[in-house]
């Protein structure tokens, strides 16, 4: 039997030893390689200093309204007519103005989006497409955020279809359903280092192939190969398609078939071309046959008129890749798609690698150069940059905002204004400093447990918030141009 006195002495000795360690241990921890070791101080135990998180009550109420509106609209979704639906009629759909963060403009340039708004208005008079390319990092994967913008714009200004989609995707998308036949592989300029011996990746910065890439200038005929992709009707019905493909060393036959039979036959050669077919409704299959595979840069699933909004997610990208792509090919594709608005949503991925303010400014300069490239390639198009969301890093037992996040946000805003673009501050829209933990802890959650990405519910909320900011500016334009 243990002596009670000795047990008490042992416990008191351990407490005293821990107190001495807590007193001597540096308050900012000890760095061991890439790991920081911390030891709780006396006050940390007596009175834990929990960071203050945002009150998300208003966001929860707004999210509930969004969910109800989305459910109602998607139950009634049918293929839109090829003519536009007319002018905007409903100001805010399913969200309170209280939670709307407005767009920001360079000083004295509040009319930067008027060219785009005039083109929106023209849809009521002319049967045509106008297109929005939404580039972003993993925050928009699977059509997250983009689909709310697409659904709302198409419901107001006409149009249908998911827009530009890849043959091979790394993640499930709510925008489209596809099935593949053949040994399809995806090659991208972003993410892991590409082994592609050229810089022709197309507007999606990626392409799909079913035959190996040829690394020499001399092509040796391989066996005859065939591969196909079938697209099915989804929540965004379409009635026409365009296939963008090229860079084949041997002519490749392309056949497009629908539920009622053959729709189009054509041939792909070395230069990029687009192959069009009116599909009607139902499933559509695109089959490639030949001794080589073309690079398939994307398939545009759309309608004859209205607004098309393309989701182009680049996992791991900082948005600094446009200068590395074939500019003539990009210009051709942007012009054929009739791109009138670029939305670029980046800034979260560089954060773990930036160490000081100077590096943040340098990243902003790199991003500025990308914006200038896009403006040169498509001078008529407007640009909106969406800054990073709040992103958390764990300090001791609590999650807090990355130290340089606001500096990255500021660098992106400065780059945007210098390039003549418009900025939307997603970080402030969701509450600013330490808002991400509150979104994670909300019930139901508005963000995922990685403290980086939105939950599906939160993504729909953010998408609707951005749409409201855009439409608010559209209304100002309408009032000022009467």
What are the pLDDT digits (tens) for 283-300?
Answer: 899 999 999 999 999 999
How many of the other CB atoms lie within 10 Å of CB of 478? 13
Would you state the structure tokens that stand for residue 185, as one six-digit string? 């592989």
Q: For residues 159 and 149, what is the distance between their CA atoms, to the nearest angstrom?
A: 13
Would you state the structure tokens that stand for residue 67, as one six-digit string? 């969910």
Would you state the structure tokens that stand for residue 439, as one six-digit string? 């979104």
Least confident range from 98-102, 161-165, 421-425: namely: 98-102
pTM: 0.87
For every residue of 48-78, DSSP letters joined together read --PPP----HHHHHHHHHHHHHHHHHHHT--
Would you state the structure tokens that stand for residue 244, as one six-digit string? 């963008």
Of 477, 420, 415, 356, the residue nearest 108 (C-alpha):
420
How many of the other CB atoms lie within 10 Å of CB of 394? 9
Q: For residues 388 and 291, what is the distance between their CA atoms, to the nearest angstrom?
A: 45
pLDDT of residue 145: 94
Q: What is the dihedral of CA 237, 240, 245, 251, to 10 degrees?
A: 130
Q: For residues 170 and 142, what is the distance between their CA atoms, to the nearest angstrom?
A: 9
**Beta strands at 240-246 and 273-278: parallel, antiparallel or unpaired:** antiparallel
Task: Give SS3 for 145.
Answer: coil
What are the pLDDT digits (tens) for 438-460?
Answer: 999 999 999 999 999 999 999 99
What average pLDDT score do residues 372-377 get? 97
What are the pLDDT digits (tens) for 393-443?
Answer: 988 778 999 999 999 999 999 999 999 999 999 999 999 999 999 999 999
Q: For residues 134 and 296, what is the distance between their CA atoms, to the nearest angstrom?
A: 20
Give the chain's domains with CATH numbers. Answer: 56-160+304-482 (3.40.50.1110), 165-302 (2.60.120)
What are the pLDDT digits (tens) for 239-265?
Answer: 999 999 999 988 999 999 998 899 999
Q: Which residues are registered as beta bridge partners of 395?
A: 398
> Is the pLDDT reported for residue 90 higher than 50?
no
For every residue of 462-476, DSSP letters joined together read HHHHHHHHHHHHHHH
> Is the pLDDT reported for residue 157 higher than 50?
yes
Q: For residues 418 and 371, what is the distance between their CA atoms, to the nearest angstrom?
A: 10
């Amino acid at each position: 039997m243990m002596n009670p006195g000795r047990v008490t002495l042992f416990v008191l000795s351990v407490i005293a030893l821990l107190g001495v360690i807590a007193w001597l241990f540096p308050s900012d921890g000890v760095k061991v390689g890439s790991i920081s070791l911390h030891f709780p101080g006396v006050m940390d135990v007596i009175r834990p200093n929990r960071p203050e998180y945002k009150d998300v009550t208003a966001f929860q109420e707004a999210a509930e309204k969004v969910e109800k509106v989305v459910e109602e609209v998607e139950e009634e979704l049918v293929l839109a007519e090829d003519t536009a639906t007319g002018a905007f009629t409903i100001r805010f759909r399913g969200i309170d103005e209280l939670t709307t963060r407005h767009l920001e403009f360079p000083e004295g340039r509040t009319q930067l989006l008027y060219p785009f708004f005039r083109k929106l208005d023209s849809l009521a008079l002319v049967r045509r497409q106008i297109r929005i390319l939404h580039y972003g990092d993993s925050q928009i994967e699977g059509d997250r955020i983009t689909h709310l913008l697409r659904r709302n714009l198409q419901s107001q200004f006409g149009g249908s279809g998911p827009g530009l989609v890849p043959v091979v995707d790394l993640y499930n998308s709510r925008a489209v359903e596809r099935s593949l036949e053949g040994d399809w592989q995806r090659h991208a300029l972003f993410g892991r280092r590409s082994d592609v011996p050229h810089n022709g990746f197309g507007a999606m910065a990626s392409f799909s192939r079913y035959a190996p890439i040829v690394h020499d200038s001399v092509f040796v005929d391989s066996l005859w190969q065939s591969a196909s992709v079938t697209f099915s009707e989804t929540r965004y019905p379409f009635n026409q398609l365009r296939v963008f493909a090229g860079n084949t060393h041997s002519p490749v036959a392309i056949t497009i078939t629908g539920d009622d039979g053959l729709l189009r036959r054509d041939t792909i050669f070395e230069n990029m071309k687009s192959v069009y077919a009116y599909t009607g409704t139902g499933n559509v299959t695109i089959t490639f046959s030949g001794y080589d595979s073309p690079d398939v840069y994307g398939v545009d699933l759309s309608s004859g008129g209205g607004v098309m909004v393309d989701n182009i997610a680049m996992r791991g990208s900082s948005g600094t890749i446009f200068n590395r792509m074939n500019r003539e090919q990009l210009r051709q594709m942007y012009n054929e798609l009739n791109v009138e608005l670029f939305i670029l949503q980046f800034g979260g991925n560089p954060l773990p690698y930036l160490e000081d303010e100077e590096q943040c400014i340098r990243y902003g300069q790199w991003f500025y150069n990308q914006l200038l490239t896009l403006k040169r390639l498509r001078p008529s198009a407007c640009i909106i940059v969406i800054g990073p969301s709040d992103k958390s890093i764990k300090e001791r037992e609590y999650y807090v905002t990355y130290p340089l996040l606001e500096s990255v946000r500021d660098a992106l805003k400065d780059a945007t204004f210098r390039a003549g673009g418009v900025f939307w501050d997603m970080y402030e829209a969701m509450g600013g400093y330490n808002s991400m933990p509150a979104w994670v802890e909300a019930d139901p959650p508005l963000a995922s447990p990685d403290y980086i990405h939105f939950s599906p519910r939160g993504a729909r909320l953010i998408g609707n918030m951005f749409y409201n900011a855009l439409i608010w500016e559209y209304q100002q334009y309408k009032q000022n141009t009467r």
